[in-house]
Amino acid sequence: MHSMAKYEFPKDFVWGASTAAQQIEGAVNQDGRGESVWDVFARRPGAIHEGLNADIACDHYNRYAGDVALMKEIGLKGYRFSVSWPRIMPSGVGPVNKAGLDFYDRLVDSLLEAGIEPYLTLYHWDMPYALAPKGGWMNPDSPKWFADYASVVAGHLGDRVRWWMTFNEQAPFLVGGYLDGWHAPGFKAGWREFLLACKNVMLAHGDAVRAVRASAPKPPKVGMAPVAMLGIPASESVQDIEAARSFTFDLSKRDNWHPALYIEPVLTGKLAPNFAEIFGSDAPSFTDAELKAMSPPLDFLGLNFYNAPYARAGENGPEEVPKEPGWPPAGQYWKITPDGLYWCVRMYHERYALPVVITENGLSCQDWVALDGRVHDAPRIDATARYLIALHRAVEEGFPVLGYFHWSLMDNFEWAEGYKQRFGLIHVDFRTLERTIKDSGYWYADIVRKSALES
């Protein structure tokens, strides 16, 4: 007989869900919005699964009121969304599009009326296309472009929005957009230019943190939401934990997803000790003033975690543990590794001493509306329960975890994967745009109501 266990979270724990502007808003030509790099990239033959685009996506721009009503039905305490830079500044710089700001006014006001705290991300991969021919993030002016945009948004919404994130997942948009070309803007620029783009994004982060603090009418909480790359200890032996920590944070080879390129300098003001040695002549120079500029103190650290490899102590230092065949995959073939959610909280908090918000966690499943009109996504419920049990361990051990945001609120445009992957708590029929709360959405509503999980 399987006995039920109860995992209780603090009463003030923020249960939420996340989205991104490019993935849900649609309305790409409405009310003065400029083109984004993703709008243009999607026209490239073969760039997006089945040749699709985000021109309509979930049409959230026109349907936000109904979507907020669904959030309220689920009982969300927080909603993490991103602002579309080309909707605010169609050319990336210069004139501000008032209609774009008006949309986010309406969204934020409707969230607050529904008792839902807004968590705003300034950049979730949709740079205005007008900046791409100028080199995008490779341009030394890009930190100023971004800071100017951040000032406008914070000045306008900062009287109501308390929680701010500069960047979402720097690694995919920089690796995919500037080195490997599988994400917008689709540059294959080489290591030197890619590392320069990484440096400019770190400088842009620092400039935007200061811009938000200077422009927001009320004191903001500012952080960022990087990919929580790590090695999960293969066992809880001291040796394996240390090996996993080293695997996570010590730059030992030319690795384009490493925290040393996106997280370490902005949280510590220091480069990895062997940064120049590993990247050689491709490494950009960093002055002390630049390192200081990119690392203003933050109020919290967002962590986006889905899965990670296991690491152990080997004869020649830390080594990755090969995954045996048959490891359970999610719909997008990522392996399901729930204990990584505990370890990413623990390792990142121990290293950087910031309160943590899980800003994304979830999985893609093969969901459809059944004959009974419901969406039966039992695998999502089971997998999410496992991740939340791991997160509960971190909370129980006293790590300051402020909230958990499920990815995603609704099925959406999943970048180069098009509409192939469904991550939502809410099913979207992309032909009719009809929304259906999935079984997982009702299950999550129960967790939100009790701030507890029973399994």
Distances (CA, A) of 47 to 7, 44, 431: 43, 5, 21
Q: Could you give the CA distance from residue 53 to residue 376 in angstroms, rounded to a whole number?
A: 27
Beta strands in 108-220 (DSSP E): 117-123, 163-168
CB contact at 8 A, 163 and 112:
no
Q: Could you give the CA distance from residue 232 to residue 245 in angstroms, rounded to a whole number?
A: 8
Burial of residue 440 (CB within 10 Å: 0-12, 13-18, 19+) is buried
Q: Is there a catalytic annotation at residue 193?
A: no
Beta strands in 330-400 (DSSP E): 356-360
Q: Is there a catalytic annotation at residue 73?
A: no
CB contact at 8 A, 223 and 205:
no
Q: Could you give the CA distance from residue 272 to residue 296 in angstroms, rounded to a whole number?
A: 18
Contacts (Cβ under 8 Å, ≥6 apart) of 317: 243, 246, 252
Q: Could you give the CA distance from residue 416 to residue 353 in angstroms, rounded to a whole number?
A: 35
Written in H, E and C, the secondary structure of 29-59 is CCCCCCCEHHHHHCCCCCCCHHHCCCCCCCC
Residue 130 CA from chain centroid, whole number: 24
Angle, CA 129 vertex, CA 127 and CA 131 arms, to 5°:
80
CB contact at 8 A, 425 and 410:
yes
Residue at 14: amino acid letter: V
Where do runs of H (alpha helix) occur along 250-338? Answer: 264-268, 275-279, 288-293
Angle, CA 28 vertex, CA 27 and CA 31 arms, to 5°:
70
With tokens 């689920």, the residue in question is: 74
Catalytic residue, candidates 193, 264, 360, 414: 360
Q: What letter would DSSP give residue 169?
A: -
CB contact at 8 A, 341 and 358:
yes
Dihedral, CA of residue 265, residue 267, residue 269 and residue 272, to nearest 10: -40
Q: Could you give the CA distance from residue 392 to residue 89 in angstroms, rounded to a whole number?
A: 41
Catalytic residue, candidates 25, 169, 193, 264: 169
Question: Rounded to 5 degrees, what are φ and ψ at 404?
Answer: -135, 125
Residue at 408: amino acid letter: S
Contacts (Cβ under 8 Å, ≥6 apart) of 206: 143, 266, 293, 294, 295, 296
Active-site annotation, residues: 169, 360
